[in-house]
């Protein structure tokens, strides 16, 4: 049994490696690593080390078991840590370069009339158990309603309403020195990417937005609108970003933000109170053209809250869009929330590698983002109707199915060799025994697969 288990593990690793190697080859990841300055100096090739880290969650391993204790890799944990922690490695260029290639493929598969959007959002990177991580800070988690130790992960992604691809991120600390638990302590050359990202981490959370947007557009990403949550819906930010693309964002009623309507300035709540509402149970309650403090004309649509007796407001800088179209397009923003859940729950963003080095955190986060791109590409390439989450589990199950088949094949091969070695059976008898055993094995696997598909169909319905 121990021998069979070892064979199973070997076959699982081979299949997973072949699947990911195909993805790496299709998008020339080796060339992208080289262009990002991630080159071999000594020891193992960067692509080999990157691939080993990339495959960890799909093989059911963590960093310790899959890298540190895995002697079959041909390199040790130091090679993996050195790859992630090198401040000269331009992980942003690698991630954006790969994203552009994948988005180009998706664009060819998408109807030209379907809107493509860029989505901004921020999520916490939880390191509550850590005390000595470089640039660790107190950040407010809006889901928990309290501050936690960690980072604020500002992310921009691309979506066509079917697939979502993360493009760039900023792992933010805090601009307030009192909120930072640990300062940057690693001596880094000021000309390196690591130094630039450390400066970026201690700026105000909304400052990198324009630079991130300009960077992805310059790389060749095409989009029709920019979508944002209410955390970024300040008039000055809207005015800045709308210079690149029209902005659609959720609004919240803030006492310091005013909108001009019929010559008077109102907060969002007071503005809603002044408007005439549509009768009955209309989902869209009202809409109005207003002016912001930046002198910009915008359209605000008020919609009924689905879960309580209240309203929500969505702003658009495109004044020609119909009310229903504004709400429909804004609905695509949910894709980035699904991405955040996948990164944390399945792709082990926060718990896989307990790095204390800020460059290491950037490198590892990039690897996790590329894992999500891999799943999104497989989903789209095979026109798979499953969610990315279910596709993740399907990839793992696919590896296990192949492992069972290969293990049976190896086991039967050993049995046949033992039978032949005895010399007690003729060749035609051995051949019939092989046919019978293989037929039974195939029948068993087909039965298991049919039961799995039947149960999956019941759950899906």
Q: Does residue 9 register a pLDDT over 60?
A: no
Q: What's the rounded Cα separation, in Å, for the pair 121 and 434?
A: 59
Q: Are residues 213 and 64 in the same domain?
A: no
**High-pLDDT (> 70) share of the chain, %:** 79
Backbone phi and psi for residue 307, each to the nearest 5 degrees, phi listed first? -110, -10
Q: Which of 25, 53, 85 is the last residue of a domain?
A: 85
15 pLDDT more than 70: no
Of the three residues 339, 354, 383, the one that is the final residue of a domain is: 383
pLDDT at 339 over 70: yes
Domain boundary among 357, 383, 409: 383
H or E element, residue 301: strand 297-304
Of the listed ranges 6-15, 333-342, 358-367, the one predicted with least confidence = 6-15
The reported pLDDT for the residue numbered 386 is 46
Q: Are residues 401 and 350 in the same domain?
A: no
CA distances from 294 to 204, 232, 235, 248, 316 (A): 20, 15, 7, 17, 15
Residues 79 and 112 in one domain: no
Same-domain check for residues 283 and 247 = yes
pLDDT in tens, 53-77: 999 998 888 888 888 888 888 888 8
Q: Are residues 263 and 356 in the same domain?
A: yes
Look at residue 276 and tell me whether its pLDDT is greater than 60: yes
Q: What is the pLDDT of residue 402?
A: 45
What is the pLDDT at residue 310? Answer: 85
Task: Return the SS3 of 414.
Answer: helix
Q: Distance (Å, rounded) from C-alpha 237 to C-alpha 246?
A: 12
Q: Band the pLDDT of 384: cuts 50, 70, 90.
A: very low
**pLDDT average, residue stretch 167-195:** 94
Q: Same structural domain for residues 206 and 81? A: no
pLDDT at 397: 53
Same-domain pairing of 328 and 414: no
Mean pLDDT of 177-182: 94
355 close to 348: Cβ distance less than 8 angstroms: no
Statement to judge: residues 273 and 399 lie in one domain: no
The confidence band for 337, taking pLDDT boundaries of 50, 70 and 90, is: very high
pLDDT recorded at residue 411: 55
For residue 437, pLDDT beyond 90: no
Q: Which of 434, 401, 440 is nearest to 420 (CA)?
A: 434
**Is residue 268 located within the same domain as residue 396?**
no
Q: What is the pLDDT of residue 401?
A: 47
The Cα 314–Cα 333 span in angstroms is 12
Averaged over 311-332, what is the pLDDT?
95
- Reported confidence tier of residue 351, pLDDT bands at 50, 70, 90: confident
Is there a single domain that holds both residue 106 and residue 205? yes
Q: State the average pLDDT for the chain.
A: 85
Give the separation between CA 278 and CA 456, rounded to whole angstroms. Answer: 44
Give me the CATH number covering residue 141: 3.90.350
pLDDT score at 8: 46
pLDDT of residue 150: 95
Q: How many domains does the chain have?
A: 3
How confident is the model at residue 4, as a pLDDT?
45
- Mean pLDDT is lowest, of 141-145, 227-231, 424-428, for 424-428
Task: Name the least confident of 10-14, 150-154, 215-219, 319-323.
Answer: 10-14
- For residues 371 and 268, membership in a common domain is answered with yes
Least confident of 259-273, 278-292, 382-396: 382-396
**Which structural domain range is residue 8 located in?**
2-85
Confidence of residue 142 (pLDDT cuts 50, 70, 90): confident
Q: What percent of the chain has pLDDT above 90? A: 61
Note whether 313 and 352 are same-domain residues. Answer: yes
Sign of the alpha-carbon torsion through 266, 249, 339, 37? negative
């Amino acid at each position: 049994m121990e021998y069979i288990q070892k064979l199973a593990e070997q076959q699982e690793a081979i299949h997973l490696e072949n699947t990911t190697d195909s993805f790496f080859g299709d998008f020339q990841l080796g060339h992208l690593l080289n262009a990002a300055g991630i080159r071999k100096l000594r020891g193992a090739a960067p692509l080999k080390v990157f691939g080993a880290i990339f495959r960890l969650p799909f093989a059911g391993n963590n960093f310790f078991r899959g890298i540190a204790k895995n002697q079959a890799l041909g390199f040790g944990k130091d090679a993996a840590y050195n790859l992630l922690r090198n401040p000269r490695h331009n992980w942003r260029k690698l991630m954006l370069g790969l994203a552009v290639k994948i988005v180009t493929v998706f664009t060819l598969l998408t109807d030209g009339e379907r809107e493509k959007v860029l989505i901004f959002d921020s999520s916490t990177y939880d390191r509550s158990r850590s005390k000595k991580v470089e640039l660790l800070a107190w950040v407010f988690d809006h889901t928990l309603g309290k501050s936690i130790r960690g980072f604020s992960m500002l992310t921009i992604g691309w979506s066509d309403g079917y697939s979502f691809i993360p493009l760039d991120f900023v792992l933010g600390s805090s601009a307030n020195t009192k909120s930072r638990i640990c300062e940057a302590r690693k001596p880094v050359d000021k000309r390196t990417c690591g130094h630039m990202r450390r400066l970026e981490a201690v700026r105000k959370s909304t400052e990198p937005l324009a630079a991130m947007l300009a960077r992805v557009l310059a790389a060749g990403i095409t989009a029709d609108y920019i979508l944002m949550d209410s955390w970024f819906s300040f008039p000055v930010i809207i005015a800045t970003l709308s210079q690149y693309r029209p902005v659609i964002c959720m609004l919240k009623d803030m006492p310091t933000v005013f909108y001009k309507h019929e010559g008077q300035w109102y907060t969002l709540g007071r503005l809603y109170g002044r408007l005439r509402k549509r009768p009955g149970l209309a989902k869209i309650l009202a809409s109005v053209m207003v002016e912001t403090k930046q002198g910009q004309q915008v359209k605000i649509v008020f919609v009924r809250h689905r879960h309580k007796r209240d309203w929500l407001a969505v702003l658009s800088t495109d004044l020609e869009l119909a009310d229903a179209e504004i709400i429909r397009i804004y609905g695509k923003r949910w894709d980035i929330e699904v991405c955040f859940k996948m990164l944390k729950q399945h792709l082990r963003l926060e718990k896989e590698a307990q790095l204390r080095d800020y460059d290491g955190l950037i490198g590892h986060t990039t690897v996790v983002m590329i894992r999500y791109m891999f799943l999104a590409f497989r989903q789209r390439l095979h026109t798979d109707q499953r969610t990315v989450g279910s596709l993740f589990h399907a990839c793992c199950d696919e590896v296990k199915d192949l492992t069972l088949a290969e293990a049976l094949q190896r086991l039967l091969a050993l049995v046949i060799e033992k039978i032949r070695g005895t010399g007690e059976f003729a060749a035609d008898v051995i051949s019939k025994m092989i046919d019978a055993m293989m037929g039974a094995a195939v029948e068993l696997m087909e039965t298991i697969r049919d039961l799995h598909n039947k149960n999956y169909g019941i759950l899906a319905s």
